[in-house]
Amino acid sequence: MSQRDDDLPDDLQNDLSALYRQAVPGDARRDQQILHQSLMRLRWGHRRRWLLGAGGAMAAAAAVVLIVLLHKPPMAATPQFALFALGNPPPQGQVDILTAFRLSKALKLGQHPSPAWDRIGDGVIDQRDVDAWAKLAVRIDAGATP
Amino acid sequence: MNIARTFIFAGLLLGLIAAGPAASEFSPFGYAEVYIDAGPAGLAAYQVEITAADPAAQIVSIEGGEHPAFNPAPYYDPAARDHNRIIIAAFSIADVLPHGRTRVARIHVYDDKQSPGKLHYTIRLMAAGDANAQRIDATASIQPGEQP
């Protein structure tokens, strides 16, 4: 017949425990290691949760971008854009209104004309150059037969 | 006798009145309208040379055409003003362009010897282009008028 310790009075239990208790030599280094490992596990847990959250968000964003790209209509590549190539300006004697018109179209389409189109020579190719080419075209001594 | 004199006088007076406007018909100011017919292609650019037959004629101003794409005054050489020859040109990057025959410009002319509205003008098409800035076949014409 066995009798459970729980059935003993508390005082008796304490006395018996004190009688048989042995001093266990402490190992501070080992305690530190255990504590360090516990902390590391705790931190890794936090980091892993953060990585999982961030990774999930990034994956969701990538999926959204992919869906948008797949369902986006093709860029408005108008035939004008596809067919239009500016090239270089013609020699002065062959300049006409189409020269200025081509430059104007190129600028409208966002192209970057070569520096040869910089008619006024200010380093920027813009509407003023378009006007300058047009004015050259209509110059009364520019190629017109009297 | 008095009645006859009165009739003669009245007849002369009426004749003078009738002849009056004919004498003042001459006006040194006139204009000529410039047309381009690009056919079915949309006209996006043109350049023409215009010459008035009378060397004394002076082109004094230029205005744009009827279609919104060519409403602004065309390009021209200011040095050509007050002469009888000029080159005008314009282009449009508008989405809607004129088709067929369209008035692209009006030139105002001064000539104190011959009525500009009755002058003979020559026009030479130098260039015409479509929306892709490609050359197209077109015809140019000019039609004189008086006192617009």
Confidence of residue A5 (pLDDT cuts 50, 70, 90): low
Contact B75 A138 (CB under 8 A): yes
Q: B11-25 pLDDT, tens per residue? A: 544 444 454 444 457
Chain B residue closest in CA terms to A107: B93
Q: What is the pLDDT of residue B99?
A: 95
Residue B121 sits at the chain A interface (C-beta within 8 Å): no
Work out the number of other CB atoms within 10 angstroms of the CB of residue B110. 16
**Helix, coil or strand: residue B109:** strand
Which of chain A's residues have a Cβ under 8 Å away from the Cβ of B75? 97, 100, 131, 134-135, 137-138
Of A109-118, A119-128, B19-28, B33-42, give the lowest mean pLDDT range. Answer: B19-28
Q: Do B47 and A137 touch (CB under 8 A)?
A: yes
Mean pLDDT to the nearest integer, A124-142: 92
Smallest Cβ distance to B76: which of A96, A105, A138? A138
Give dist(CA A108, CA A50) in Å, integer: 48
Structural domains of chain B sorted by starting position, each given as residue range(s) with its CATH number in brackets = 27-146 (2.60.40.680)
pTM: 0.64
pLDDT at B13: 45
Is A36's pLDDT higher than 90? no
B67/A146: higher pLDDT = B67
DSSP conformational letter for B94? -
CB contact (8 A) between residue A137 and residue B89: yes
A135 touches chain B (CB under 8 A): yes
For the segment A56-81, the average pLDDT, to the nearest whole number, is 69
Nearest to A138 among B88, B93, B129 (CB): B88
Q: By the 8 A CB rule, do B50 and B32 touch?
A: yes
Work out the average pLDDT over A67-86: 59
What is the average pLDDT across A29-33? Answer: 83
Q: What is the dihedral of CA A120, B129, B64, A146, to 10 degrees?
A: 70
Q: Is B87 on the interface with A (CB under 8 A)?
A: yes
Q: Given CB atoms, is A119 within the 8 Å cutoff of chain B?
A: no
- What pLDDT score was predicted for residue A24? 62
| pLDDT class of A12 with cuts at 50, 70, 90 | confident
A128 touches B: beta carbon within 8 Å: no
B53 shares contact with chain A (CB less than 8 Å): no
- pLDDT exceeds 90 at position A10: no
Q: Please tell me the predicted confidence (pLDDT) of residue B142.
A: 96
> Which pLDDT belongs to residue A42?
85
pLDDT of residue A1: 46
Q: Which residue in B129, B134, B148, B116 sits closest to B50, CA to CA?
A: B116
CB contact under 8 A, A97 and B86: no
User: Exposed (0-12), middle (13-18) or buried (19+): which is B87, by Cβ within 10 Å?
Assistant: buried
Encode chain B (148 residues) as per-residue pLDDT tens digits: 566 565 555 554 444 445 444 445 778 888 999 999 999 999 999 999 999 999 999 999 999 999 999 999 999 999 998 899 999 999 999 999 999 999 999 999 998 887 777 789 999 999 999 999 999 999 999 999 766 5
Q: Is the pLDDT of residue A119 over 80?
A: yes
Q: Which ipTM score applies to this complex?
A: 0.81
Which residues in chain A are contacts of B83 at CB distance < 8 A? 140
- Among partner residues B47, B77, B86, which is closest to A97 by beta-carbon distance? B47
Contacts of A135 in chain B (CB under 8 A): 75, 77
Shortest Cα distance, chain B CAs vs residue A68, angstroms: 30
Residue A15 banded pLDDT, cuts 50, 70, 90: confident
Interface contact flag, B93 A145, Cβ < 8 Å: no
